[in-house]
Structure 1
Amino acid sequence: MNKESWEKSAERFFGRAALPEYGPFSLNEERLGLFGDISNQKVLDIGCGSGHSLQYMGNQGAKELWGVDLSTKQIETATKLLSNQQVKVSLVESPMEENPGLPSNYFDIAYSIYALGWTVDLRRTLSNIHNYLKPGGIFIFSWEHPIHDRLTYEESSFTFNKSYNIEGPEYNEAWHNSVIIHHRKLSTYINTLIESGFTIEKVLDDVELPDNKDSDNPSRWYSTQKAQLVPATFIIKAFKK
């Protein structure tokens, strides 16, 4: 169901949610510097989408660019976008829960920009990523903050209409109920990372608001009014021992 929806909607997300941006109302990589110097690094993008994050990594001097994505159309788009890169590019169409034959203990960096939350099996996905990384390799991901979609704008005010504590698969309102995404608490992401063998370095959910805080419609999925109340994005940096 999710794959079918992505094939229909891929063009709408061309270039969106890609490095150096981490997500709505979040500080970007140019401000945070979480990756550091990536010159000559082998990098893996989990949920690579249209390939714009990999393009950013290539422009920053990465040695090899690898990407995995569920969508055929996204892989085709990323292939075209990255065709002029002067380094090795390997793109694989695959669910992130499955290992499509990627090398073990190989990558210096793995990352996922607004994609990891699509997984239907977080533990298996994180175990795969841990396996792909070299000892000392880093993993950075961003995703919509799990408290964000608990809050809805109704009748001129924001209200909590869903439990933060109840986890599991849900139809997603932002996609007009055409996809299913698992709601997970922030602690679930943190604890599953630890259980998968990662050491966590940073957890960030800082909010950066535009200068004109009241310029948009508060009923939008990502509105400045909502961002004044709860973060839209969280970022975690971890590494493999």
Structure 2
Amino acid sequence: MKQNKYDDSGFFENYSQMPRSIGGLNAAGEWESFRAMLPELRNKKVLDLGCGFGWHCRYAREQHAHSVVGVDLSENMLERAREMTNDSQIEYRRFAIEDIDFKAEEFDVVISSLALHYVEDFITVCQKVHHCLVPGGAFVLSVEHPVFTAVAAQDWHYGQKGERLHWPVDDYHYEGSRQARFLENDVVKYHRTVATHLNALIETGFSITKLSEPKPSQEMKENNPDMQDEFRRPIFLMIAAVKN
């Protein structure tokens, strides 16, 4: 069963109050690193899997992409995206990521930001992305880092005084679902190792061009002392690949 927590009114309200939901890409700590991995978008046909509020779709058009299709399972997300978009070259469609069925070589670039760790069948998504990309087309994705998803609690191990002692990593090689807590709700995420991510792409006909495990920028570190702890373990895994 495809997960669609964002059409739960309470969950969606909480999500809408997050800094990245209000401030967009510049309020997302990983955006600078993700943007650096994107290819040239001018005149490209772009697909965004798990488009949410459409921030990446609108960014692609700002970079003079020819057209953009944003896909999301949540009607709440798509409704908000349409409200925020005034561009006939951006189209939003309601699909589960696993159910996309585009024509062969329909897109030049496929992106997905922090959505694929909610998808159980990653290799099928890779196959479908490969099918709809032109030869040499780019697939750029970000997920929660496997170090972050391995333990369902997704929290630090604390000392007696509440100090953060370390980030626990356990059951790393036991892949599959994890019931995590996010925005005061239980959500299902799917843990996969770094190797599984890379091998799924390679086996479906991609070449890996870049990996990133971004850390906070110096500016973020200076503006928020709590960011120091974000240097102790990775939160995000980003992968750029091209279709062979």
Task: Mark yes or no: TM-score above 0.5.
Answer: yes
Choose between structure 1 and 2: higher helix proportion.
2
The amino acid across from 2:192 in the alignment is: R
Sequence identity, in percent? Answer: 27
The amino acid across from 1:10 in the alignment is: F
Larger RCO (CA within 8 A; separation ≥ 6): 1
Match of 1:239 in 2: 242
User: Structure 1 residues 67, 39: closer, same or farther in 2, change over 3 A?
Assistant: same
Q: Root-mean-square deviation (CA), in Å?
A: 2.6
Question: Which digits, 9 at most, give the CA deviation of each residue in 1:34-83, with x for residues without a partner?
Answer: 3243111100000000111101111111111101111111111112222x
The amino acid across from 1:52 in the alignment is: W
Match of 1:41 in 2: 44
Tell me, yes or no, if the aligned pair for 2:69 and 2:91 is still in contact at 8 Å. yes
The amino acid across from 2:33 in the alignment is: N
Match of 1:81 in 2: 84
Match of 1:28 in 2: 33
Tell me by how many angstroms 1:183 deviates: 0.8
Q: Which runs of 5+ in 2 are unaligned?
A: none
The two structures have a TM-score, normalised by structure 1, of 0.84
User: Structure 1 residues 134, 204: closer, same or farther in 2, change over 3 A?
Assistant: same
Match of 1:202 in 2: 210
Match of 2:191 in 1: 183
Match of 1:221 in 2: none
Question: Which digits, 9 at most, give the CA deviation of each residue in 1:191-230, with x for residues without a partner?
Answer: 11111111111111131342338723xxxxxxx2442211
Match of 2:93 in 1: 92
Secondary structure of 1:160's counterpart equals coil
Secondary structure of 1:173's counterpart equals strand
The amino acid across from 2:47 in the alignment is: L
Question: In the alignment, which of 155, 165, 168 is matched to residue 173 of structure 2?
Answer: 165
The amino acid across from 1:66 in the alignment is: V
Secondary structure of 2:5's counterpart equals helix
User: Structure 1 residues 136, 11: closer, same or farther in 2, change over 3 A?
Assistant: farther
Tell me, yes or no, if the aligned pair for 1:117 and 1:182 is still in contact at 8 Å. yes
The amino acid across from 2:225 in the alignment is: S
Q: Which runs of 5+ in 1 are unaligned?
A: 217-223
Where do 1:53-92 residues align within 5 Å? 53-82=56-85, 84-85=86-87, 87-92=88-93
Q: In 1, distance between residues paired with 2:111 and 2:65?
A: 13
Match of 2:133 in 1: 133
2:146 is aligned with 1:112: no
Tell me, yes or no, if the aligned pair for 2:3 and 2:118 is still in contact at 8 Å. no
Tell me, yes or no, if the aligned pair for 1:106 and 1:134 is still in contact at 8 Å. yes
The two structures have a TM-score, normalised by structure 2, of 0.83
Secondary structure of 2:20's counterpart equals coil
Secondary structure of 1:211's counterpart equals helix
Question: In the alignment, which of 185, 189, 211 is matched to residue 221 of structure 2?
Answer: 211
Question: Which digits, 9 at most, give the CA deviation of each residue in 1:118-167, with x for residues without a partner?
Answer: 11111111111111111111000111111024462322222416322221
User: Structure 1 residues 29, 126: closer, same or farther in 2, change over 3 A?
Assistant: closer
User: Structure 1 residues 36, 49: closer, same or farther in 2, change over 3 A?
Assistant: same
How many residues of Structure 1 are paired with residues of Structure 2 in the alignment?
A: 229
User: Structure 1 residues 139, 11: closer, same or farther in 2, change over 3 A?
Assistant: farther
Secondary structure of 2:225's counterpart equals coil
Tell me by how many angstroms 1:20 deviates: 5.2
